[in-house]
């Protein structure tokens, strides 16, 4: 079995959603406009459809020195020789995702060095990183305490770590140069392809890319033009003239600065590696230069801050630019807690609302990752996409996404596994019905049994896939690597009455429609059902009526839905 089952997780999420914390009003300090955005070129004259996905061009790389987020001008002096210890500030903060400048760590506590407390509520930043369940005791035990993160005023910090700079004695702070992401979660939700790639890093990329891309003025949601007219604000998709799909295949210039380092503070090296090995494959493919530290390394850093009994004072690590990521904190706000159960939704929504989600209709902000992984896998994506000259189809919509040279419908089969699979009759009739349609309409139809393919082979199929279909499960995580085309879609089969947001939210966050199939009915946004795990959800006789799936595929290819 390639994909791990995760029924306990499903139940946990459901319970978490149900128990979840009410909307907490968070006092965000105004995000500081970043003085270190490297350039402010907006793509006002973005050309229509550049060539399809290409390997990242050499000229797209920024040099290492540009690639380090610059400290502001006043910090030109090395921090350990600065007249004052550099103060902490916030770049951007959403529940569970916070980018700081000048965050400190000493004795295992993250310190915000500031004379004031105008910072987001710490419980919306971080938690105690224990495994989560939905019991009230556990929820309470995950609340952060001052050992996890705390404020320290400049005088106290000076006393604890300060030197006598005027007399040539440096501060006892040691800079962890470059850009760091601190993952505060335990392994519970790391060791899983969907949660790691399509949730954790999906959110990281949305937040980091948004924070350090030039902002886009005039992202005013226009309900008429929205693909979600009249929809609720939290899941609206306004069309942003600056970030239309037109630039979907361009990497936005300048590229955001590189993330140099990920630190899994509470997970060992095994704790984020899923059994099929997709997470480590993904991390190296998407971020080839990023270094990774684990709990052991973090503990080394903690131990190193203890000056010992003879020392004059403690040491502190200084993180000049750091993003703190925390799953429990994301769940404390209703966007994740009750609406989507997706932590990435916090990052995505925040940046969209701030007008910083570039290429939002097709996940332009995700493009560098998608592109890097497909390129790494050897998929010839450039050969897959056709032109955009099909003006008839384009008339009904302002979208001019390219079409595939040849449409491919990929059905991810779970039939070789033992659970959450179709009844044998349903599987057979579905495959037969789609084969017939594929002949009639001249598209490629592919039944993907992931367990029989290498990672490369799976991704090479995905690179050509226009419509991804399957029973709810980890195999659908691959949707994040589907190249956006005009007919892209995700069709997810549930046991009738069942629903979960995982692939629904993720597909829509990349601009793809999602259809939830209940045997002979389908539901789609804005009429998606509520989360439910009825009896039979995990079973081995999920029904599906082939002709219904055929109709969805046909209607989608005809541009009707």
Ligand X SMILES: *[C@@H]1O[C@H](CO)[C@@H](O)[C@H](O)[C@H]1NC(C)=O
Name the residues that contact ligand X, by CB under 6 A: 87-89, 107-108, 114-116, 118, 147, 519-520, 543, 545
In the bound complex, what is the minimum distance in angstroms from residue 285's beta carbon to ligand X?
37
Q: Which one, 454 or 521, has the nearer CB to ligand X?
A: 521
Q: Which one, 119 or 278, has the nearer CB to ligand X?
A: 119
In the bound complex, what is the minimum distance in angstroms from residue 28's beta carbon to ligand X?
12
In the bound complex, what is the minimum distance in angstroms from residue 306's beta carbon to ligand X?
8
Cα–Cα nearest to 483, from 540, 404, 422, 418: 404
Omega cis (within 30) before 361: no
Q: Which one, 108 or 382, has the nearer CB to ligand X?
A: 108
Q: Which one, 321 or 330, has the nearer CB to ligand X?
A: 321
Q: Which one, 15 or 87, has the nearer CB to ligand X?
A: 87
Q: Which one, 231 or 543, has the nearer CB to ligand X?
A: 543
CB 91 within 8 A of CB 210: no
36 Cβ contact list (under 8 Å, min separation 6): 69, 70, 71, 72, 212
Q: What is the largest CA-CA distance in the chain?
A: 84
Q: Which one, 104 or 443, has the nearer CB to ligand X?
A: 104
In the bound complex, what is the minimum distance in angstroms from residue 130's beta carbon to ligand X?
15
For residue 246, CA distances in Å to 348, 362, 394, 404, 525 come to: 20, 9, 13, 16, 24
In the bound complex, what is the minimum distance in angstroms from residue 194's beta carbon to ligand X?
27
Cα–Cα nearest to 510, from 405, 341, 367: 367
Q: Which one, 120 or 543, has the nearer CB to ligand X?
A: 543
* Residue closest to ligand X, measured at CB: 114
Element (H, E) at 506: helix 502-509
**3-state SS assignment for residue 445:** strand
User: Distance between CA 60 and CA 251 in Å, rounded?
Assistant: 8
Q: Which residues pair with 97 in a beta bridge?
A: 94, 325
Query: Helix (H) and strand (E) counts for the chain?
Result: 17, 15
User: Distance between CA 513 and CA 422 in Å, rounded?
Assistant: 23
Could you tell me where the beta strands, DSSP code E, fall in 494-549?
514-518, 521-524
19 Cβ contact list (under 8 Å, min separation 6): 134, 136, 139
User: Distance between CA 522 and CA 520 in Å, rounded?
Assistant: 7
In the bound complex, what is the minimum distance in angstroms from residue 323's beta carbon to ligand X?
17
Q: Which one, 490 or 517, has the nearer CB to ligand X?
A: 517
Q: Token digits for 11?
A: 């139940």
In the bound complex, what is the minimum distance in angstroms from residue 118's beta carbon to ligand X?
4
User: Distance between CA 238 and CA 214 in Å, rounded?
Assistant: 19
In the bound complex, what is the minimum distance in angstroms from residue 160's beta carbon to ligand X?
9
In the bound complex, what is the minimum distance in angstroms from residue 426's beta carbon to ligand X?
8
Q: Which one, 71 or 385, has the nearer CB to ligand X?
A: 71
Q: Which one, 88 or 328, has the nearer CB to ligand X?
A: 88
Could you tell me where the beta strands, DSSP code E, fall in 141-178?
149-152, 173-175
Burial 370-398 (b: 16+ CB within 10 A, else e): bbbbbbbbebebbebbbebeeeebbeeee
Q: Which one, 146 or 378, has the nearer CB to ligand X?
A: 146
Residue 49: which region, alpha, beta or left (left: phi > 0; alpha: psi -120 to 50)? left
In the bound complex, what is the minimum distance in angstroms from residue 520's beta carbon to ligand X?
4
In the bound complex, what is the minimum distance in angstroms from residue 325's beta carbon to ligand X?
21
In the bound complex, what is the minimum distance in angstroms from residue 107's beta carbon to ligand X?
4
Q: Token digits for 558?
A: 């005809």
Question: Cα 33–36–39 angle (5° rounding)?
Answer: 100
Residue 549 phi/psi, 5-degree rounding, is -65, -40
């Amino acid at each position: 079995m390639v994909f791990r089952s995760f029924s306990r997780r499903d139940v946990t999420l459901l319970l978490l959603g149900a128990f979840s914390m009410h909307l907490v009003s968070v006092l965000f300090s105004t995000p500081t406009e970043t003085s270190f955005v490297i350039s402010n070129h907006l793509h006002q004259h973005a050309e229509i459809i550049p060539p399809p996905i290409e390997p990242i061009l050499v000229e797209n790389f920024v040099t290492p020195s540009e690639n380090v987020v610059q400290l502001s001008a006043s910090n030109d002096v090395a921090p350990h020789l600065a007249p004052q210890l550099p103060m902490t500030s916030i770049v951007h903060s959403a529940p569970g995702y916070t980018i700081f400048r000048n965050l400190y760590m000493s004795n295992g506590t993250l310190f915000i060095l500031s004379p004031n407390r105008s910072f987001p509520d710490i419980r919306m930043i971080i938690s105690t990183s224990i495994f989560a369940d939905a019991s009230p005791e556990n929820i309470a035990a995950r609340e952060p305490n001052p050992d996890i993160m705390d404020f320290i005023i400049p005088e106290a910090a000076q006393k604890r770590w300060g030197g006598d700079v005027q007399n040539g004695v440096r501060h006892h702070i040691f800079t962890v140069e470059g850009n760091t992401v601190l993952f505060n979660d335990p392994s519970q939700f790391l060791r899983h392809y969907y949660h790691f790639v399509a949730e954790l890093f999906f959110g990281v990329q949305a937040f980091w890319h948004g924070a350090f891309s030039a902002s886009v003025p005039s992202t005013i949601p226009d309900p008429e033009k929205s693909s979600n007219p009249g929809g609720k604000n939290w899941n609206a998709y306004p069309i942003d003239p600056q970030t239309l799909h037109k630039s979907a295949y361009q990497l936005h210039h300048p590229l955001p600065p590189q993330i140099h380092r990920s630190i899994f503070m509470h997970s060992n090296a095994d704790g984020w590696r899923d059994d099929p090995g997709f997470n480590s494959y993904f991390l190296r493919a998407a971020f080839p230069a990023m270094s990774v530290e684990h709990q052991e390394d973090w503990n080394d850093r903690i131990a190193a801050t203890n000056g010992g009994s003879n020392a004059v004072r403690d040491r502190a690590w200084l993180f000049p630019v750091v993003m703190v990521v925390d799953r429990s904190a994301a769940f404390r706000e209703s966007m994740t807690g009750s609406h989507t159960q997706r932590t990435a939704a916090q990052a995505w929504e925040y940046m969209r609302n701030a007008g910083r989600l570039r290429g939002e209709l097709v996940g332009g902000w995700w493009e560098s990752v998608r592109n890097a992984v497909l390129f790494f896998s050897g998929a010839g994506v450039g050969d897959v996409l056709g032109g955009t000259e099909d003006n008839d189809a384009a008339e009904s919509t302002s979208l001019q996404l390219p079409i595939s040279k040849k449409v491919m419908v990929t059905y991810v089969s779970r039939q070789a596994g033992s659970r959450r699979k179709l009844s044998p009759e349903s599987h057979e009739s579905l495959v037969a019905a789609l084969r017939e349609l594929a002949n009639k309409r001249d598209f490629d139809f592919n039944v993907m049994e992931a367990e029989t393919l290498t990672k490369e082979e799976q991704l090479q199929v995905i690179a050509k896939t226009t419509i991804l279909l399957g029973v709810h499960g980890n195999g659908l995580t691959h949707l994040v690597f589907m190249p956006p085309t005009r007919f892209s879609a995700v069709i997810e089969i549930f046991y009738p009455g069942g629903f979960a947001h995982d692939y629904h939210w993720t597909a829509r966050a990349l601009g793809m429609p999602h259809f939830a199939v209940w045997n002979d009915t389908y539901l789609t946004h804005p009429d998606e059902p509520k989360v439910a795990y009825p009896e039979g959800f995990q079973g081995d006789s999920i029904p599906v009526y082939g002709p219904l799936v055929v109709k969805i595929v046909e209607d989608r290819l005809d541009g009707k839905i």
